[in-house]
Structure 1
Amino acid sequence: MKKVKRILKWVLISLGGLTVLLLLLIAGADRFLSYEKGARWLYSKVEQPLIIKFTPDEVRYLQIGDTTKTPLLLIHGAPGGLFDWLAIAKRDRIYEQYYLLIPERPGYGGTRPKRAEPSVTAQGQALLPILRAQSKPVVVVGHSYGAPVAVTLGALAPERIQHIYGISGAYDPELEVTFGISYCINFQLFRYLLPCPIWVSNVEKLGHPQALREALPLFQSVMVPTTLIHGTADTLVPFENSTYLQALLPFQTPLIALPGQEHPVHVMLPDYFVSLLLGEEPAAPDAGG
């Protein structure tokens, strides 16, 4: 029995040590990527002109490609950042039609201040200056938590948006998937112990149902053409989120179901999404592949 207790003790110590190491690595990576040097390193394999910009409220975003093309705004989820869209940014074909605008939502990366903003509407308002800085209507893409932000922009600035794509979006306040640990770490102490993106995303997650309820009138007023894409095997943000929004929008909205696909489809299937954004008819991906 004593031997079992000793083994259990060392297993727990080892797991604790690995957890601390992982958290330190996440914090270090987040800090590095928040600097200009880190952002440029991350996108160093993208052979396009890249400029790092800030809105008046210090939302940082990348501008990549030829600005005579159509602007494509890519909004990450929670947690998330510049790395979310790297797979798509590496596809040369996307620059045949677009230049990319990749912001870090309030609370993430090089955007200041490093403070959580659970309101979907406020998140959309923070990105409005990026839309207004473009000379052409923007195609807006959002993934996960970024998808309702993208839809909100369609209500806040419809004249500046050409089309909205919602990928694996979390829209239904009743379908929010919350884990028990989210409540355990919802204390100010953990704000200083956890890496910033984990703390921020946890605050967003716990506040997301109420934020979605508050954004409901905006969702119902969106008249911008919208396309929804969702994996049928998504366990983090269930597929029914997209059927919920499809029923809410005041016009017929196509919903593309990706059989057997899980949550990060934009990372797993970059070529599929590049083809979709270029107006092609991409072949349906293999289920779960």
Structure 2
Amino acid sequence: MNSNEQEVRSADGTRLVVRRAGAGDPVVLLHGSGGGLHSWAAVAGRLAGSYELWMPARRGYGPSDVPPGRKSFKDEVADLLAVIEAAGQPVHLVGGSYGATLALHAAAAEPGRLRSLAVFEPPLFAAGESIEPLLARYQAAFARDDAGEMFAVLNEVTRVPPPIVAAFVAAAGDQRPDPAEARRSAIGWLHDLEALADDSPDPARWSSITVPTLLMQGADTWEPMPTTMDALAAALPAARRVSWPGQSHFATMTAPDLVADALREFLAEVAAQPGPTCRGQYDLS
């Protein structure tokens, strides 16, 4: 384990590896499906001069533990609380994709542990009964190590348009992912799908969230994400909202400056105006 990493134990004993950087008020960054300790690196490098950043590898993703049994968002909220305890005070919570859905769960369940919430494109549409048959297909493909079928299932879950999938395949060419990294990602996806299948797709349930909130999205992300973000914004009318032209669901990697600048401005406003603020929408393009 690197010197900038530490272990945190969740309530059920699950070992979580957390990467830390910077100094200042604590900010926890939650990665999406298929991600890991590296996922927020580009954004974190732009924020470390102002904040103490905590970046856990979520359960199911090495080098954190992969506990047995079916995973739930309740498990992951407990994991997050352990990280917050290690930070020693309420945190600013940031989540991307699946990590954004987890962040919403945490904000609804444990608002007193958070100073603010920022979420980037939570896939709220990818939840509930519709995911169960996709989970079963993925489990079967995982068991026989069928990378092609796993890839196909995940495209159905995320609803990435075929032209974008084709562009990814073409860009990869003859390159093949590192087998160990591919397996780590596949295991993490498997357990994320378990939690998604047991979740609800209803965005109205987040209307109880009261902490200052920032909603972030790419203006070019495909449907149903734009409709989903509209529904989430309707459920959280006091939230700020930013949409970046020319960016999509990969903005945290393709435009880290935009993401870091939006977070920096939002967090500065939260620090200057404690309590519920942030009404309306704004454009940081």
Q: Same fold (TM over 0.5)?
A: yes
Q: Provide TM-score, normalisation by structure 2.
A: 0.69
Q: Distance in 1 between matches of 2:37 and 2:224?
A: 21
**Which residue of structure 1 lines up, in the alignment, with residue 28 of structure 2?**
73
**1:34-183 alignment to 2 at 5 Å?**
36=1, 40=2, 50-56=4-10, 57=13, 58-66=15-23, 69-91=24-46, 94-113=47-66, 115=68, 118-173=71-126
Q: Distance in 1 between matches of 2:89 and 2:191?
A: 34
Shift of 1:128: 0.8
Between 266-275 and 70-79, report the one with greater CA deviation. Answer: 266-275
Change (3 A) 1:248 1:210: farther
**Which residue of structure 2 lines up, in the alignment, with residue 190 of structure 1?**
142
Change (3 A) 1:237 1:146: farther
Change (3 A) 1:53 1:174: closer
**Cα RMSD over matched residues?**
3.3
Which digits, 9 at most, give the CA deviation of each residue in 1:139-191, with x for residues without a partner? Answer: 1100000001111111222122111110121123579997x98654322x724
Amino acid at match of 1:50: N
Contact kept? 1:59, 1:104, Cα under 8 Å: yes
Q: In the alignment, does 2:190 pair up with 1:205?
A: no
Q: Distance in 1 between matches of 2:57 and 2:260?
A: 21
Q: Quote the sequence identity (%).
A: 23
Amino acid at match of 2:199: A
Which digits, 9 at most, give the CA deviation of each residue in 1:15-51, with x for residues without a partner? Answer: xxxxxxxxxxxxxxxxxxxxx2xxx4xxxxxxxx723
Change (3 A) 1:184 1:175: closer
Q: Distance in 2 between matches of 1:206 and 1:133?
A: 27
- For structure 2, the residue ranges without an aligned partner over 5 or more in a row are 148-182, 269-281
Which of 1 and 2 has greater Rg? 1
Shift of 1:212: 2.9
Q: Distance in 1 between matches of 2:199 and 2:52?
A: 31
**Which residue of structure 1 lines up, in the alignment, with residue 256 of structure 2?**
270
Q: Provide TM-score, normalisation by structure 1.
A: 0.68
Q: Distance in 1 between matches of 2:5 and 2:127?
A: 40
- For structure 1, the residue ranges without an aligned partner over 5 or more in a row are 1-35, 41-48
Amino acid at match of 1:228: L
Contact kept? 2:128, 2:199, Cα under 8 Å: no
